Structure 1
Amino acid sequence: MPSRRRSLWSTTTSGTRLSGCCGRVSCWRPARRRRTTTPARSPRSSPAAGRGSDRRPNAAEEAVRVSGYELRRDGAVVRFVLRRPEVRNALTPEILRALERTAREVGEDRETRVLVVEAGPGEPFSSGFDFAALRELTGRESEVDDMLRATATALEETPVPVVVAISRYCYGAALELVLACDLRLAAAGSRFALPIAAIGRIYPVDGMLRLIRAVGASGAVRLQLAAEPIDVRRALAWGLVHDIAPVNQLGARVDELVGSLLRSSPNALAEIKRMMRALQVGMAEDLPRLRVVEDVYRSAVARLRASGDFDEGVAAFIDKRPPSWAV
């Protein structure tokens, strides 16, 4: 197992910030004086460790807030919190890059044992990729695929267990990120959808493989062709999520799961993740066949681009009107 030597949090005389962060003043917290009378709590016994998103961060937490998301450290747990309630936590390139960077850095951080991905209190998990940002990338949609692929891969490859807490709904690109997380918990009443055909696009090959591994070929076809939400009970039956909690107990259920992970050997957890990924990739990736599928995907994307369906789908969604598809 590679040595995890570098700390995610860089300490200076003026404060502590996230390594690789933007360096803005808002990304710093004041340095604390050392206390000599009270011993530091261990990550396992810290009351802050593993608390859910249904509470406010306290003064003992290390918090970093930037546009669209918040990073918090609760002892040995790092939390990546989506904070764009005004647009239903729609994802942006900046958020995807930040989540990718966080996943890679916690894997190298000797202090971090668990990464939790969640939304802010009372907020939906995510409505998917921000359509305003998508419109700005017209003609460069492959960049979105590349960002999603890089972020999902980072979540899968980090040796730290990744827990995701899903509230209310999880659509589109957000679902791809959720499928890359190790343990998926959802609040009762949550809904899931992959309406990619409704905007004139198709799912990238690696995303399809991840979806098929989670829900099987039948479920993957249903989610992509029907483009209709499924409820959390069906998501549990299909394997899309691992557990359901009452809405007001989702945070507590996350706490329990995080506590269980903290009691386990971090080295064993990392090796289990590595073995599971190797088995899944080995079973799914017949490389000659995969190259053929990649060629089919690229040709399909080119045809959809030429038809104008993707541009029309995005424009119709933003304008809140029915799309007029090419025939």
Structure 2
Amino acid sequence: MISEQVEWHVVEGVATVTLNNPPLNVVTLEMSRKLDEVLPILAEDPGVRVLILTGAGERAFCAGSDISEFPNMLGRGKIVPMKLEFENQVYGKVAKFPKPTIAAVTGLAYGGGLELAVCCDFIVVDEATRLGLPEIKLGVFPGSGGTVRVTRRIGESRAKEMMFYGEPIDASTALLWGLVNRVVPVGQSRDVAQAMAQGLAGQPNRALQFCKAAIALSYALPEDEAIRDTMDLSDQVFDTEDCREGVRAFFAKEKPRFKHR
């Protein structure tokens, strides 16, 4: 389906959402509104088991915010109600998407583009990808979750290096730092992300969702409380058809035939 600056389609359990604002797929208010419409549809669709987020073209996954929108947002009390409050709400829907998510990155991932990519569970980049948070060069700092999500991925010291200097890093450095999961040859990030997604789509989907929720608890609660809540999730997953099938297949020495429910 096509929705102006956001395109999406679903094939064999994998939903692909494409940022489509050439040439650099910069984030506009309109793009955020379209993502806000699409994400709940895909989250609730039982036929969607994995989400891939990518950008149109080869130059950029997303090069950040559309700076042409900024002049009307200068001054106290404007940027939050006009942009950041809603944008963070939308990015949060990616971060909290109940099913596995993969960012397939080609070209640049700068500013809000990188902040959007790190909302995903996995990030696949090609060898020529450059990733950066250059907001400091505009006299500001990352305002769409990057100070939190990038820091959680790479640690305080490296996050400060990226944000204080505003200089991009290359793909190999991003992999070394733990910012991305895989570096692939140029032009192959979407293909590799698709292969990963197909593998995940064949897994027991409810178990993946419960596992993702359990991992998220490690950030939200003290250790003892988080572990206690994971037991409730385990109780639920042991009551799924896929669990029964997994146990049956184990004893039958067969490959399980999961029905994703």
**Contact 2:61-2:108 within 8 A present in 1 as well:** yes
Select 2:68's aligned residue among 111, 120, 132. 132
Give the whole-Å Cα distance in 2 for the aligned partners of 1:134 and 1:283.
39
**Contact 1:126-1:170 within 8 A present in 2 as well:** yes
Select 2:80's aligned residue among 142, 147, 170. 142
Give the whole-Å Cα distance in 1 for the aligned partners of 2:142 and 2:65.
13
Output one character per residue of 1:170-199: Cα deviation in whole Å (capped at 9) or x when no partner. Answer: 000111111111111001110011011111
Q: Which residue of 2 aligns with 1:112?
A: 48
Q: Which residue of 2 aligns with 1:66?
A: 3
With the length of structure 2 as denominator, give the TM-score of the two structures.
0.79
Q: Which residue of 2 aligns with 1:252?
A: 191
Give the whole-Å Cα distance in 2 for the aligned partners of 1:100 and 1:282.
27
Matches within 5 A, 1:231-242: 231-242=170-181
Matches within 5 A, 1:36-185: 64-86=1-23, 88-139=24-75, 140-143=78-81, 144-185=83-124
Output one character per residue of 1:114-162: Cα deviation in whole Å (capped at 9) or x when no partner. Answer: 1111112424111100011222333421132212311221112121111
User: Over alpha carbons, which structure has the higher Rg?
Assistant: 1
Deviation at 1:101, TM superposition (A): 3.1
Letter in 2 for 1:95: M
Give the whole-Å Cα distance in 2 for the aligned partners of 1:224 and 1:192.
11
Deviation at 1:273, TM superposition (A): 1.4
With the length of structure 1 as denominator, give the TM-score of the two structures.
0.63
Letter in 1 for 2:53: V
Deviating above 4 A after TM superposition, structure 1's stretches of 4 or more consecutive aligned residues are none
Gaps of 5+ in 2: 224-261
Deviation at 1:211, TM superposition (A): 1.6
Give the whole-Å Cα distance in 2 for the aligned partners of 1:206 and 1:282.
19
Greater percentage in helix: 2
Output one character per residue of 1:34-56: Cα deviation in whole Å (capped at 9) or x when no partner. Answer: xxxxxxxxxxxxxxxxxxxxxxx
Q: Which residue of 2 aligns with 1:322?
A: none
Matches within 5 A, 1:210-289: 210-282=149-221
Deviation at 1:102, TM superposition (A): 2.3
Deviation at 1:204, TM superposition (A): 4.1
Deviation at 1:272, TM superposition (A): 1.4
Letter in 2 for 1:238: W
Deviation at 1:68, TM superposition (A): 1.8
Percent identical: 25
Q: Which residue of 2 aligns with 1:10?
A: none
Structure 1, 98-107 or 267-276: larger mean CA deviation:
98-107
Deviation at 1:256, TM superposition (A): 1.6
Structure 1, 247-256 or 221-230: larger mean CA deviation:
247-256
Letter in 1 for 2:123: R
Give the whole-Å Cα distance in 2 for the aligned partners of 1:131 and 1:273.
35
**Contact 2:105-2:190 within 8 A present in 1 as well:** no
**Contact 2:5-2:34 within 8 A present in 1 as well:** no
Structure 1, 261-270 or 201-210: larger mean CA deviation:
201-210
